[in-house]
Structure 1
Amino acid sequence: MAFNTGLSGLRAAAVDLDVTGNNIANASTVGFKSSRVQFGDLYANGFLSSGSAPVGDGVRVQSVKQSFGQGNISFTDSGLDLAIDGDGFFELNNGGEKRYSRAGQFGTDKDGFVVNNQNMRLQGYIADAAGNLSGRTGDLQIGSDNLSPQRTTDLRTDLNLDAREQVLTATPFDPLNPGTYNHVTATTIFDSLGNPHEATQFYAKRTPVNADSEWSLYVQIDGEYVGNTDAANPTAILEFDQNGNLTAPTNPLGTIPISDWTPVDQNGVANGAATGAGAAFNLDLGSTTQYGANFGVNDQRQNGYTTGRLSGLDVSQQGVIFARYTNGQSKSLGQVALASFNNTDGLSPSGDTSWVETFESGQPIIGRPDTGTLGAIQASSVEESNVDLSAELVNLIIAQRNYQANAKTIETSDAVTQTIINLR
Structure 2
Amino acid sequence: MSFSQGLSGLNAASQALDVVGNNIANSQTIGFKSGSISFADVFAGSQIGMGVQVSGVRQNFSDGVLGQGTGSLDMGIQGNGFFRLVNQAGQVFYSRNGQFKTNENGYIVNDTGMLLTGYQASGTPPTIQPGAAIGPIQIPTEQMPARASDSGSMKGNLDSGAKIIDPELEFDPKDSNTYSSVNKIDAYDSLGNRHEINVYFVKTADNKWKVYTNDSTAEVVDGAGKVQYQEIDIAFDSAGQLTTKPARVPIVGAAYNGAEALGFELDITGMTQQASETAMESPSTSGYAPGKLNGYTVGNNGQIIASYSNGQQQPLGQVVLANFTNAGGLASSGNNAWTETPSSGQPVVGIAGSGNLGNLYGNKVEASNVDLSQEMVNMIIFQRNYQSNSQTIKTQSELLQTLVNLG
- Two-structure CA RMSD over aligned residues (Å): 2.1
**Structure 2 letter corresponding to 1:244:** G
**Structure 1 letter corresponding to 2:56:** S
Aligned to 2:337: 354
Preserved CA contact (<8 Å) 2:211 2:249: no
Aligned to 2:402: 419
**Structure 2 letter corresponding to 1:264:** Y
**Structure 2 letter corresponding to 1:140:** I
The 1:233/1:102 distance shift into structure 2, 3 A limit, reads: closer
- State the distance in 2 between where 1:225 and 1:240 align: 30
Aligned to 2:237: 241
Q: Is residue 73 of structure 1 aligned with residue 66 of structure 2?
A: yes
Preserved CA contact (<8 Å) 2:214 2:228: no
The 1:174/1:156 distance shift into structure 2, 3 A limit, reads: same
- State the distance in 1 between where 2:227 and 2:197 align: 16
Q: How many percent identity over aligned positions?
A: 39
Kindly state the Cα deviation for residue 55 of structure 1 after the two structures are TM-superposed: 2.3
- State the distance in 1 between where 2:216 and 2:228 align: 19
Preserved CA contact (<8 Å) 1:244 1:290: yes
SS in 1 for 2:283: strand
- State the distance in 1 between where 2:341 and 2:269 align: 60
**Structure 1 letter corresponding to 2:370:** V
Kindly state the Cα deviation for residue 101 of structure 1 after the two structures are TM-superposed: 0.3
Preserved CA contact (<8 Å) 2:213 2:250: no
- State the distance in 1 between where 2:321 and 2:198 align: 49
The 1:307/1:262 distance shift into structure 2, 3 A limit, reads: same
- State the distance in 1 between where 2:299 and 2:322 align: 18
**Structure 1 letter corresponding to 2:80:** D
Aligned to 2:260: 273
SS in 2 for 1:168: coil
**Structure 1 letter corresponding to 2:231:** T
Match runs of 1:22-171 below 5 Å: 22-45=22-45, 53-95=46-88, 96-129=90-123, 130-135=125-130, 136=132, 137-169=134-166, 171=169
The 1:385/1:336 distance shift into structure 2, 3 A limit, reads: same
Q: When the two structures are superposed, what TM-score results if normalisation uses the length of structure 1?
A: 0.89
- State the distance in 2 between where 1:369 and 1:391 align: 31
SS in 1 for 2:402: helix
Deviation readout 1:250-308 (Å, 9 max, x if unpaired): 5xx122344x531335xxxxx31135xxxx11111121222233212124111111111
Preserved CA contact (<8 Å) 2:298 2:362: yes
- State the distance in 2 between where 1:294 and 1:145 align: 46
Gaps of 5+ in 2: none
The 1:239/1:230 distance shift into structure 2, 3 A limit, reads: farther
Match runs of 1:201-280 below 5 Å: 201-207=199-205, 213-222=207-216, 235-248=231-244, 250=245, 253-258=246-251, 260-265=252-257, 271-274=258-261, 280=263
The 1:371/1:218 distance shift into structure 2, 3 A limit, reads: same
The 10-residue stretch of structure 1 (169-178 or 97-106) with the greater mean CA deviation from structure 2: 169-178
The 10-residue stretch of structure 1 (88-97 or 55-64) with the greater mean CA deviation from structure 2: 55-64
Structure 1 residue ranges, 4+ long, deviating more than 3 angstroms after superposition:
223-234
SS in 1 for 2:388: helix
- State the distance in 2 between where 1:233 and 1:202 align: 10
Gaps of 5+ in 1: 46-52, 266-270
Kindly state the Cα deviation for residue 225 of structure 1 after the two structures are TM-superposed: 5.9
- State the distance in 2 between where 1:106 and 1:58 align: 47
Preserved CA contact (<8 Å) 1:226 1:235: no
Aligned to 1:176: 174
SS in 2 for 1:187: strand
Preserved CA contact (<8 Å) 2:218 2:255: no
The 10-residue stretch of structure 1 (30-39 or 234-243) with the greater mean CA deviation from structure 2: 234-243
Preserved CA contact (<8 Å) 1:79 1:380: yes
| Matched residues, number | 400
**Structure 2 letter corresponding to 1:348:** A
